Amino acid sequence: MRPRLIYVCIFLLSSVMGVRAATYKSLQNFSIGDGSSPIAGLFFDRAGNLYGAAAYDGPDYVDGLIFKLSPSKGWGFDNVYLFGYGPYDQSLGQEPMGGVVVDDAGVIYGTTSYGGEQSECGTVFELAPSGSFPLHTFTGSDGCAPRSNLRLSNGRLVGTTSRGGASGQGTVFFVDISTLIFHSYSFQKIQGTAPSGGFNVFNYGVTQSGGQQGQGNIYRLGAHGLINAFSFTSTRQAGYAPMGDLLTANVNGVRTMYGTNSAGGKGGGGTVYKLSENQQTPEHWQLSVLHSFSGADGRSPMAGLAFDSKGNLYGTNREGGEFNCGTVFKLSPGLNNWWKFSVVYSFNQNNPDTGGDGCHPSSGVVLDASGNIYGTTEYGGWYSWGTVYEITP
């Protein structure tokens, strides 16, 4: 099937960069003994508890863990599950790099990027009060090394693997949590390679590389498999090497998606972009750049975006900012597709007021009903092995 093109228009870039007074607090400073390098983001359950994953380390023989922070305990930290070797159950694998989801019954679902009982390609797992179970163990031919966020929809878990599949370029997969029926769709180079985010409710996602120009693309799932919807290139102001989930919205009846490119753009440090569906031609999209990063305002956004209750967009940069440890940023919508940009917080690993902020966030943020911002940093903090943080704007 011939790919449908997305027509690119560069609208007004957002203006005004400014650092707002915001309060930073580390809710957890990771050390080798209690996990390290939380690469994935956080998930709120219905009770307001935060869940996440530390990709590496932990107590002896442990290589990654799932954690919980409870506001009722003053954001007390608990290890929910330890992945490891030796005395630990190895059927669930090790090194959880993707985000988890928690259903209304408190059951946790996630992935490990390594290990399992077949080809060390990782698993999809379930952590329930009745026990822990691998829902699927990847073999390589059906995907390998899942690192994206999972989405739970109509009894199925949906995600991507960063490699493996029929051509070794990665897959989109579905697992039915009741029947354990599994299905995956494999990428070919023209459809993109190395999917770097999850798969959204519009059936779209992004790959970091591949596509027609080899610089990453936006893809969708059609009736007969994966379709290249748009290929990025380093010569365009839209940027290239997209990362993270594509955030979805319905704006005045128009399907809309928001995403980030980790490189390129007018400032060279990546971009935030918006996709609006053509009302006369479904599955055709108009792309506009909302902001282009140049370094002082952040650089290299590696994750997707989040809305607050007022329709503002929030995200993170892994690099750049005042202290080159990354930033949390905000984009506020205005008239005629104009968005006001501001830096909410620049991470400072040498901050004397906090004992050392986190540094280099690889994940996005989540917000509570009061507008407080929560996320993880892969490094930094008191022991330099990453943090869970709260920022009060």
With beta carbons less than 8 A apart as the criterion, state whether 251 and 309 touch: no
Kindly report, residue by residue over 221-235, the tens digit of the pLDDT.
Answer: 998 899 999 899 888
Cα–Cα distance between 133 and 286 in angstroms, integer? 43
pLDDT at position 11 = 42
Q: Which of 188, 149, 178, 191 is nearest to 306 (CA)?
A: 149
Q: What is the pTM of this model?
A: 0.93
With beta carbons less than 8 A apart as the criterion, state whether 67 and 82 touch: no
For residue 148, report the phi and psi dihedrals to the nearest 5 degrees: -90, 170
| DSSP 8-state symbol, 258 | E
Q: Which residues pair with 314 in a beta bridge?
A: 306, 330
Q: For the purposes of burial, counting CB atoms within 10 Å of the CB of 299, is it exposed (0-12), middle (13-18) or buried (19 or more)?
A: buried
Strand 358-359 vs strand 379-380: parallel, antiparallel, or unpaired? antiparallel
Cα–Cα distance between 250 and 276 in angstroms, integer? 9
pLDDT at position 87 = 85
pLDDT at position 85 = 86
DSSP 361-377: --S--EE-TT--EEEEE
Cα–Cα distance between 238 and 133 in angstroms, integer? 42
pLDDT at position 5 = 40
pLDDT at position 92 = 96
**What number of other Cβ atoms are within 10 A of residue 60's Cβ?**
10
With beta carbons less than 8 A apart as the criterion, state whether 151 and 173 touch: no
* Architecture per CATH, 7-392: 6 Propeller (2.120)
User: What is the CB-side half-sphere exposure of residue 162 using CA atoms within 13 A?
Assistant: 18
What's the order of all strands across the beta sheet hosting 387-392? 23-29, 387-392, 373-377, 366-367
Cα–Cα distance between 168 and 190 in angstroms, integer? 13
Q: Which residues in the chain come in under a pLDDT of 50? A: 1-20
pLDDT at position 118 = 76
pLDDT at position 47 = 96
Q: For the purposes of burial, counting CB atoms within 10 Å of the CB of 171, is it exposed (0-12), middle (13-18) or buried (19 or more)?
A: buried
